[in-house]
Amino acid sequence: MLVQVLFLLITIAAIAFFSINARKIARNINLGRPENRSDRPAERLMMMLKVAFGQTKMAKRPVAAILHLFVYIGFVIINIEVLEIIIDGMFGTHRIFASPLGGFYNILIASFEVLAALVLIGVIVFLIRRNMLKLKRFSGVEMTKWPTSDANIILITEVLLMCAFLTMNAADYKLQSLGAAHYTNAGSFPVSSLLLPLLPDSQGALIAIERSCWWFHIIGIFAFLNYLPYSKHFHIILAFPNTYYSNLKPKGEFSNMAAVTNEVKAMLDPSFVPEPVAEGGRFGAKDINDLTWKNLMDAYTCTECGRCTSVCPANITGKLLSPRKIMMDTRDRASEVGLNIDKHGKDHNDGKALLDTYISREEIWACTTCNACTEACPVNIDPLAIILELRQYAVMEESQAPASLNNMFGNVENNGAPWKYSPADRANWIENN
């Protein structure tokens, strides 16, 4: 009974801490401006099923896609086994699903073992790719010590969890064959049975190994759950809502700003009374409060895989822009603002902003707006939307733009075209032909 109470307390604590941290992330996302992404629900559902569940955008890199599929399916399906572990821990039972599922239970456990082996293969290859092959897209100025360590921590944790799971099953299987009390014959063990020669023959030692791996596996899963809110791997949860709320408009389509539209209407019709800009509102974005909640959800969903940066023509040609850095900076700033709220209240001003403090002017003006980054992202993140918001602020609020753009703006205003020639001279080229 004491063991069951201890397990129950650990479970409650794990769920409570995760809920607290998840609510903080939800609060940080909601710091952004409102935006309606509830239209066309059928299309959104299909988008989520195709991109998040179906992993269709991963297929552009087949090797990574197959390995990620191993880990993804293993993570989803093996959690069924975690449900059995939790029930056994609470009620002191052992393999409680064995009796009601009958022969199907053997198929289920065998499937879990094969999936665990595939997860191990996938994760080990990922570790080799990151730390030995050192693929270029896993490096960059934004990939400091913490992002690199974060990826390795998760991968190593998954290796340990799968090893504990298979070792637990191997000890369980051997205890079943020895007729140990409480270890009823149940399950099929095609992978863990290969470990039997490595295990001792002592019943007491086997029970110690099985119980140790059982506790390590479940506590490791709870620890992994509570690590997610601090890690890029929170995309495991956010990938699904993020793809559901994807931008369904054609890529590159600009939305008219209501405040600007009202001003234009007022210029054309003197009787038109424009709607005032909301209190504290501004053109574009300087800080995370000026972005939309979807921009911030994108930032928290970023997997830091580097696919966006690897296809960015600005980055490829050596410019400072990295779409991955844009998303990581936005997430870091949102987290910083959230911490300030927790410590000092919602009205605290730390004198920092997303633009200039985190993201430089050089970065935002290096973007060619080609949308390669949004096309490459496996979970439909849109770095370009944030870049354009920052640009709008620089131009419309501060009148700060590169000289070439200022020349173009002046020509459009004076000549009705980007060029410096007078409208009266536009047809002069005909005379020479």
Amino acid sitting at position 371: N
Q: Which helix (H) or strand (E) holds 423?
A: none
Give one DSSP letter per residue of 117-152, joined into a string.
HHHHHHHHHHHHHHHTS--GGG-STT--HHHHHHHH
Token reading at 125: 């290859």
Query: Could you tell me if 382 and 374 are in contact, meaning their C-beta atoms sit under 8 angstroms apart?
Result: yes
When comparing pLDDT for 48 and 421, which is higher? 48
Q: What pLDDT was estimated at residue 279? A: 46
Amino acid sitting at position 241: P
Q: Give the N- to C-terminal CA distance of the chain in Å, as an integer.
A: 97
Amino acid sitting at position 335: S
Question: How much is the average pLDDT of 135-150?
Answer: 90
Question: 280 pLDDT exceeds 60?
Answer: no
Question: How much is the average pLDDT of 358-376?
Answer: 95
**CA dist 30 → 207, 280, 291, 348 (Å):** 49, 17, 10, 17
Token reading at 384: 């370009």
SS3 label, residue 240 = helix
Token reading at 419: 């060029």
Tokens 């269709």 identify what position?
A: 56
Question: 99 pLDDT exceeds 60?
Answer: yes
Q: What pLDDT was estimated at residue 160? A: 93
Question: 75 pLDDT exceeds 50?
Answer: yes
Cα separation, 116 vs 165, whole angstroms: 8
Tokens 């205003």 identify what position?
A: 413
Amino acid sitting at position 426: R
Cα separation, 115 vs 113, whole angstroms: 5
* Residue 343 confidence class, pLDDT cut points 50, 70, 90: very high
Query: Positive or negative, the Cα torsion across 383, 388, 391, 393?
Result: negative
Token reading at 145: 């010590």
Question: How much is the average pLDDT of 386-390?
Answer: 95
Rg, the chain, Cα only = 28
The Cβ of residue 268 has, within 10 Å, a number of other Cβ atoms equal to: 8
Give the residue ranges of DSSP H helices in 289-382: 293-301, 307-311, 313-316, 323-344, 361-366, 372-376
What average pLDDT is seen over the chain? 90
**CA dist 381 → 59, 100, 168 (Å):** 17, 44, 39
pLDDT tens per residue across span 301-326 = 999 999 999 999 999 999 999 999 99
Contacts of 236 (CB under 8 A, 6+ apart): 75, 228
Question: How much is the average pLDDT of 62-70?
Answer: 90
Question: How much is the average pLDDT of 91-102?
Answer: 86
* Nearest-10 Cα torsion for 220, 226, 231, 234: 100
SS3 label, residue 37 = coil
Least confident interval from 13-17, 88-92, 139-143, 292-296:
88-92
Q: What pLDDT was estimated at residue 401? A: 87
The Cβ of residue 316 has, within 10 Å, a number of other Cβ atoms equal to: 11
Chain centroid offset of residue 424 CA: 54
Tokens 């408009």 identify what position?
A: 249
Question: How much is the average pLDDT of 400-413?
Answer: 87
**Residue 320: closest CA among 286, 367, 374, 357:** 367
pLDDT tens per residue across span 169-213 = 999 999 998 888 888 888 889 999 999 999 999 999 999 999 999
Question: 278 pLDDT exceeds 70?
Answer: no
Question: 281 pLDDT exceeds 80?
Answer: no
Q: What pLDDT was estimated at residue 267? A: 81
Question: How much is the average pLDDT of 14-40?
Answer: 94
* Residue 87 confidence class, pLDDT cut points 50, 70, 90: confident
**CA dist 287 → 24, 171, 337, 348, 395 (Å):** 18, 55, 10, 14, 15
Q: What is the percentage of the chain residues whose pLDDT exceeds 90?
A: 61
